[in-house]
Structure 1
Amino acid sequence: MLQSKHSEAFLAVAETGSFEQAALRLNITASAVTLRLQTLEKKLGHVLIVRERPCRPTLAGQSLLHYLQHSKLLEHNFLQNLTGQTANAFYQVNIATNADSLATWLLPLLKDLLIEEKIVIHFQVDDQSQTHHLLEAGLVNACVTTESEAMKGCVAEYLGEMHYRFVATPDFIQRWFGQGVTRNALRAAPALIFNEKDDLHTQSIQKNFGLNPSQYPHYFIPSSTAFFDAITMGLGYGWLPDYQSKDLLAAGKLIELSTELSIDLALYWHHWNQQSVQLQKLTAVVLQHAKDHMC
């Protein structure tokens, strides 16, 4: 029922969000992509793609997308383990991580190993409380997450803690927090939040001041580097990891608003029990040196 050319057409549209881009990927016409997708939808009895700009999978399409991505990853891993490498001599690993880890300690930590062992990584970025779901769905080989419990068939190993400080620029503090960090001041001052999944910010403000995001102005900035830039240019206040903030704090360019509002985020490395040699080496490096890179 799932003929490869029909599934490939669906996968291309779902991943690129466009029939035209899918056609370029598959080296066929957009009308051929449409015909293959319609044939698959007719066979399965479900509409799989919402025809918007960009296109997006329906609920049934999301199930099929996860199935096909999982199957693709399993096939890729099987062929790599069988032959020892991909056609271009690089070994591919799929890892899910939170954005802050990727922007700060994770990539520098792995750099030398990736070069020496010819490993390429396809990163998937999500909130640290959600990345383990990608491992559970079979879409990645390993993940960085705040989840401490390993699911069946996997191992969870403690990495260390990322220390987050509640910071803003001196000018911002003078303008918005002249009387201290109070509930009324927080209702008026613009906050910086990574995205709608950013529990690090929203739960802390809710717990300590009884405010939810609808009660104070805020930016959504879903990029660790842009988030850092937004704080240092004085757009708002927020939490930054020590890896990004310690030098600016020492120089007086950022100020910690309250030490009591600092957050220690425990992170864990999850991976399947059965690992390739390359992933074993990668795991060993992560576990050996992660604590040294977390501040």
Structure 2
Amino acid sequence: MDLQLDQLRALDAVITEGTFEAAARRLSVTPSAISQRIKALEDSAGRILVQRTKPVQPTESGLTVWRLAKQVQLLTSDTARELGDEDQPTAKPVNIPIAVNADSLQSWVMPALGRAAQGVNFEIHREDEEHTTRLLRDGTVMAAITSTAAPVQGCIVRRLGAMRYRPMANPDFVGTWFPDGPTAKAFAVAPVILFDRKDDLQFRLMRRYTRKPVDSPRHYIPSSAGFADALRLGLGWGMMPDLQTRQDDNLIPLDSTVFIDVPLYWQQWRLDSPALGMVAATIAETAAAVLL
């Protein structure tokens, strides 16, 4: 395969932006030029890389080449910065897409990214920690905070620590729905708050008491801040990390002795990239200070 840098950039732009026209605007060329570069790249690869739908969808082969395109662009950006004039840093910032679970993003990741932001543009993908590895596999992100210890192919992994979650609720809600504490009967009828339909943490706790699935009333609130507000307002009970509730007088645990620890890992592409390495080091340093 004879892969040209402008062809790889075109593939990344088309898949990321969703159309040939949007990719052309991003790269300041014509849609015809984008189409020619994609066609030349497909000829070189000997297979179709993108489906010409709206939005454009990568084929399985396209995902493989897209991942290569992002790796090449990262290394190219790193090299440009290293060759630049340190007194006049005009090199284009390195773009690093990262998948992060909402609770980590809300409670501790943002300060880490703030310290690592010089010369880096972040593209954050909010995803449940049990599902972030999918974004690593398909090349959407270069790194992810995940609960999966097994490394994705082509990635390295390091343990960050664990977030401790407890079942929390408004005191009046606890008095109304859990007067005898957490019981199977109470969990079967008490409203529960879920982040989204991938959120299994509340059900994991309930199974300790009910020993079988229960169809309790539920709210879906896909926002960490909104989730906490719903608990404070008494809409239901839910699992909250200690990092977000230590100084919250409006929430109390259903049982202070009950908790679930969710392990977190940092997975990233196996690349010798100074920018990606700097972000990983900052994430690890911050995690060591706040996680279990």
Q: TM-score range by the shorter chain?
A: 0.7 to 0.9
Match status 1:93 vs 2:96 = yes
CA, structure 1 residues 62+164, in 2 after alignment: closer, same or farther (shift >3 Å)? farther
2:259 aligns with 262
2:112 aligns with 109
How many angstroms does 1:192 deviate by? Answer: 0.6
1:180 aligns with 181
How many angstroms does 1:25 deviate by? Answer: 6.5
CA, structure 1 residues 275+140, in 2 after alignment: closer, same or farther (shift >3 Å)? farther
CA, structure 1 residues 219+72, in 2 after alignment: closer, same or farther (shift >3 Å)? farther
How many angstroms does 1:232 deviate by? Answer: 1.5
TM-score normalised by the chain length of structure 2: 0.76
Match status 1:158 vs 2:159 = yes
| Deviation larger for 80-89 or 168-177 | 80-89
Contact 1:11 1:65 in 2 (8 A): no
Contact 2:163 2:291 in 1 (8 A): yes
How many angstroms does 1:238 deviate by? Answer: 0.4
Flag structure 2 segments of 5+ consecutive residues without an equivalent: 1-5, 26-30, 40-46, 83-88
Contact 1:94 1:142 in 2 (8 A): yes
2:85 aligns with none
Report the residue type matching 1:217 in the other structure.
P
Q: For 1:289 and 1:10, how far apart are their aligned partners in 2?
A: 31
How many angstroms does 1:204 deviate by? Answer: 2.3
1:130 aligns with 131
Contact 2:77 2:93 in 1 (8 A): no
Report the residue type matching 1:272 in the other structure.
W
1:284 aligns with 281
1:120 aligns with 121
CA, structure 1 residues 208+185, in 2 after alignment: closer, same or farther (shift >3 Å)? closer
How many angstroms does 1:198 deviate by? Answer: 1.2
Contact 1:109 1:293 in 2 (8 A): no
What is the RMSD computed on CA atoms of the aligned residues?
3.8
**What does residue range 17-96 of structure 1 map to in structure 2 within 5 Å?**
26=24, 48=51, 63=60, 66-67=63-64, 69-84=66-81, 89-96=92-99
Q: What CA deviation, in whole Å up to 9, does each residue of 1:93-134 have, x standing for no partner?
A: 1211111111110111231221xx321211112111121232
Flag structure 1 segments of 5+ consecutive residues without an equivalent: none
Q: For 1:15 and 1:113, how far apart are their aligned partners in 2?
A: 24
Q: For 1:178 and 1:261, how far apart are their aligned partners in 2?
A: 16
How many angstroms does 1:23 deviate by? Answer: 5.2
Q: What CA deviation, in whole Å up to 9, does each residue of 1:147-202 have, x standing for no partner?
A: 11224443211111111111000111122112322222212111011111112222
1:241 aligns with 241
Q: How many residues align?
A: 273
Q: For 2:52 and 2:199, how far apart are their aligned partners in 1?
A: 29
Contact 2:144 2:267 in 1 (8 A): yes
How many angstroms does 1:247 deviate by? Answer: 0.4
CA, structure 1 residues 172+207, in 2 after alignment: closer, same or farther (shift >3 Å)? same
Report the residue type matching 1:194 in the other structure.
F
More helix by share: 1
Q: For 1:72 and 1:272, how far apart are their aligned partners in 2?
A: 13
Q: For 2:184 and 2:218, how far apart are their aligned partners in 1?
A: 15
Q: For 2:209 and 2:289, how far apart are their aligned partners in 1?
A: 31
Any idea what SS the aligned residue of 1:178 has?
coil
**What does residue range 134-213 of structure 1 map to in structure 2 within 5 Å?**
134-212=135-213
Any idea what SS the aligned residue of 1:144 has?
strand
Report the residue type matching 1:73 in the other structure.
K
Q: For 1:64 and 1:175, how far apart are their aligned partners in 2?
A: 56
Q: For 1:241 and 1:257, how far apart are their aligned partners in 2?
A: 14
TM-score normalised by the chain length of structure 1: 0.75
